[in-house]
Amino acid sequence: MEQSELLAVARGEQPADLMLRNGRIVNVLSGEIEDADIAIAGGRIAGIGPGYAAREEVDLARRYVAPGLIDAHVHIESSLCIPAQFAQAVLPRGVTTVVTDPHEIANVAGIEGIRFMAASSAGLPLSVVIMAPSCVPATAMETNGATLRAGDLAGLLGESTAHGLAEVMNFPGVIYGDDGVLDKLAAYAGRPIDGHAPALRDKLLNAYVAAGIGSEHECTTVEEAREKLARGLYILIREATNAHNLHTLLPMITEQNSRRICFCTDDRIPADLIDQGSIDYMVREAIRYGIAPVTALRMATLNAAEWFGLHDRGAIAPGRRADLIVCEDLLDLQPALVFAGGVCVAQSGELRAVPGTGQPIPAAVASSVNIRWDAVDLRIPAESDRIRVIGMIENQLVTEERMQPAAVRNGLAVAEPARDLLKMAVIDRHRGSGAQGMGFIQGIGLHRGALAGTVAHDHHNLVIIGADDASMMTAARAVAAMGGGLAVADGDAILASLALPVAGLMSDRPIAAVRAGYDALIAAAAVLGSPLHDPFMAMSFMALEVIPKLKLTDQGLVDVEQFTIVPLFVR
Q: Which is nearer to a copy of itself, 311 or 409 (CB)?
A: 311
Note whether 11 binds a copy of itself by CB under 8 A. yes
Note whether 48 binds a copy of itself by CB under 8 A. yes
**Of 119, 154, 182, 271, the one binding a copy of itself by CB under 8 A:** 182
Beta-bridged to residue 558, according to DSSP, are 551, 565
How far apart (Å, rounded) are the C-alpha atoms in residues 38 and 552? 55
Check: CB of residue 146 under 8 Å from CB of residue 110: yes
Check: CB of residue 457 under 8 Å from CB of residue 139: no
How far apart (Å, rounded) are the C-alpha atoms in residues 389 and 318? 60
CB of 135 to a copy of itself, least distance (A): 18
Select from 41-49, 84-92, 371-379, 424-432 the region that touches a copy of itself (CB under 8 A): 41-49
Q: Which is nearer to a copy of itself, 257 or 334 (CB)?
A: 257
User: The sheet that has 69-74: what strands, in order across it?
Assistant: 69-74, 95-100, 127-132, 164-168, 193-195
User: The sheet that has 261-264: what strands, in order across it?
Assistant: 215-216, 234-238, 261-264
Using alpha carbons, select from 451, 447, 437, 438 the residue that is nearest to residue 489: 451
Using alpha carbons, select from 92, 96, 19 the residue that is nearest to residue 52: 19
How far apart (Å, rounded) are the C-alpha atoms in residues 382 and 164? 49
Q: Is 473 left (phi over 0), alpha (psi -120 to 50) or beta?
A: alpha
Note whether 37 binds a copy of itself by CB under 8 A. no
DSSP letter for 506, please.
B
Residues in the chain: 571
DSSP letter for 552, please.
E
Interface with a copy of itself: number of residues (CB under 8 A): 60
Note whether 19 binds a copy of itself by CB under 8 A. no
Note whether 6 binds a copy of itself by CB under 8 A. yes
User: The sheet that has 550-553: what strands, in order across it?
Assistant: 550-553, 556-559, 564-566
Q: Which residues contact 132 (CB under 8 A, 6 or more apart)?
A: 114, 148, 153, 156, 157, 161, 162, 164, 165, 166, 188
Site string for a copy of itself, 183-202 (x = CB under 8 A): --xx---------------x
Q: Which is nearer to a copy of itself, 150 or 482 (CB)?
A: 150
Could you say which residues in the range 525-554 bind a copy of itself, by CB under 8 A? Answer: none
Kindly list the distances between the CA atom of residue 3 and the CA atoms of 6, 39, 41, 311, 482, in Å, as whole numbers in the listed order: 5, 15, 10, 17, 48
Note whether 70 binds a copy of itself by CB under 8 A. no
Select from 29-37, 350-358, 360-368, 458-466 the region that touches a copy of itself (CB under 8 A): 29-37
Note whether 160 binds a copy of itself by CB under 8 A. no
CB of 282 to a copy of itself, least distance (A): 21
Select from 46-54, 134-142, 334-342, 390-398 the region that touches a copy of itself (CB under 8 A): 46-54
Q: Is the dihedral of CA 281, 282, 285, 287 positive or negative?
A: negative
Q: Which is nearer to a copy of itself, 6 or 89 (CB)?
A: 6
Note whether 162 binds a copy of itself by CB under 8 A. no
Note whether 226 binds a copy of itself by CB under 8 A. yes
Q: Which is nearer to a copy of itself, 227 or 401 (CB)?
A: 227
Select from 152-160, 163-171, 210-218, 503-511 the region that touches a copy of itself (CB under 8 A): 210-218
Could you say which residues in the range 286-345 bind a copy of itself, by CB under 8 A? Answer: 294, 306, 309, 311, 315, 317-320
Could you say which residues in the range 115-154 bind a copy of itself, by CB under 8 A? Answer: none
DSSP letter for 529, please.
T
Select from 253-261, 360-368, 380-388, 401-409 the region that touches a copy of itself (CB under 8 A): 253-261
Note whether 29 binds a copy of itself by CB under 8 A. yes
Q: Which is nearer to a copy of itself, 68 or 517 (CB)?
A: 68
Using alpha carbons, select from 348, 357, 395 the residue that is nearest to residue 84: 357
Q: Summarize as ranges the residues that interact with a copy of itself (CB under 8 A).
A: 3-4, 6-8, 10-12, 27, 29-32, 34, 44-49, 51-52, 174-177, 182, 185-186, 202-207, 209-212, 214, 226, 229-232, 254-257, 259-260, 294, 306, 309, 311, 315, 317-320
